[in-house]
Structure 1
Amino acid sequence: MSRSQGPGADVGALLFEALEPAVTDGGLFLEAVSVVGSGRHRVVQVTVDLADGPGGVDSDLLADVSKAVSTRLDEVDDLIDGAYLLEVSTPGLSRPLTEPRHFRRAVGRLVTLTTSGGTLTGRIREADGTAIVLQPPADRAEPLIVPLADVVRGTVEVDFHRVDDAQD
């Protein structure tokens, strides 16, 4: 979990602690808080996500949590001097899959996994704290089980044919 990054990392860590309850109470998971820029160009970046499992963050829920974060920042205004821009967003597709929770969030999505033995691409059927189960390719009957310990890097691929789209 990334608590803070970039300029103002100490402030980012303090903000993470201050904002985490507001995000959690709003039904989301606080991924990261960072403060970037300086002077009038400072931006407080807050990244939130669902706590676990597949699905997306509803725009109404994101708006509600954004308001809660803004209110909480007003309450801890001594942590940030002066003006700043607040950005509350979700990680999006470009987030690297680095934690078991990330893989559980990607169930149903097409991913590329770099492992100690090479690179694999497939749709995640299941994921837990120990392994990722990929849907078998057309030439294989059994699913491919990849131990999480073997995964060096994982990324979600842009996919115009998601499994849940075909079921709607």
Structure 2
Amino acid sequence: MTQRGRAGARPGQRPGGRRGQAAEPGDAQESRAPAAPRIDLTAARARVRTVIEPVVAAAGYDLEDVTVSRAGRRHLVRVLVDTDGGISLDDVAVVSREISGALDAAEEGGAEVLAGEYQLEVGSPGIDRPLTLPRHWRRNRGRLVAVNGLTGRITSADDEGIVLDVDGKPRELRFDELGAGKVQIEFKRLDEADFGDDEEDDEDEGEGEE
């Protein structure tokens, strides 16, 4: 789930983040958009995280990851958030507005978080996200995972560790002895799959009987 947004140049600021007068007609910027200002992306990521983490937490979500990269004349800010029960499209829209507002307020207050324009993408972690924190394991109860050379289903998880069902036998593992887990993709067998047409078949058979 991704919500795309953008903070543009502010009054009295040229696109690209340089403060000054607005571009005049015939300016070279008309024919060729400037590249994003070169900044320390690692430092920018840290600044963005510092600004938005309290806002995300106040909205009731966990900030899972932040990345900052260049995308033409803008910077691309990708933010991953999550919560118990998962993230809906409405949740993404709400947290996107909160994050964008926080970044704009920080820059208007004199803190240069990102130089120039940026594009914001907010979404939830995919199934390939490594399970590294207790909340990651808790939110994947019932899923098949691989960790420490074992493959099993998470039957329970608390603040101390997890219980895996490995070939029908429970295995208790503490977080201090767990590596990063990986959710395994499962496919239903064709003979177990529900295609939702059984009821229609029964109706068709009933219509044919006199």
Shorter-chain TM-score bucket reads: 0.7 to 0.9
Superposed CA offset, 1:98-119 (max 9, x none): 1222111211211111x2xxx1
Superposed CA offset, 1:8-35 (max 9, x none): 1112112111111221122111122221
- Gaps of at least 5 residues in structure 2 are 1-39, 189-210
1:165 aligns to what? none
Asked if 1:34 corresponds to 2:61, the answer is no
Asked if 1:90 corresponds to 2:124, the answer is yes
- Gaps of at least 5 residues in structure 1 are 1-6, 162-168
- Select which of 173, 184, 187 maps to 1:146: 173
- Select which of 108, 116, 120 maps to 2:142: 108
Aligned residue pairs: how many?
Answer: 146
1:25, 1:148 → 2: CA distance?
A: 27
How many percent identity over aligned positions? 40
5 Å matches for 1:1-168? 8-37=41-70, 40-50=73-83, 53=84, 55-77=85-107, 78-113=112-147, 115=148, 119-137=149-167, 140=168, 142-160=169-187
How far residue 160 of structure 1 moved from its aligned partner, in angstroms, is 4.6
Q: Structure 1 length as normaliser, TM-score?
A: 0.76
How far residue 71 of structure 1 moved from its aligned partner, in angstroms, is 1.4
2:103, 2:137 → 1: CA distance?
A: 31
1:149, 1:68 → 2: CA distance?
A: 35
2:10 aligns to what? none
- Higher alpha-carbon Rg: 2
1:166 aligns to what? none
How far residue 90 of structure 1 moved from its aligned partner, in angstroms, is 1.2
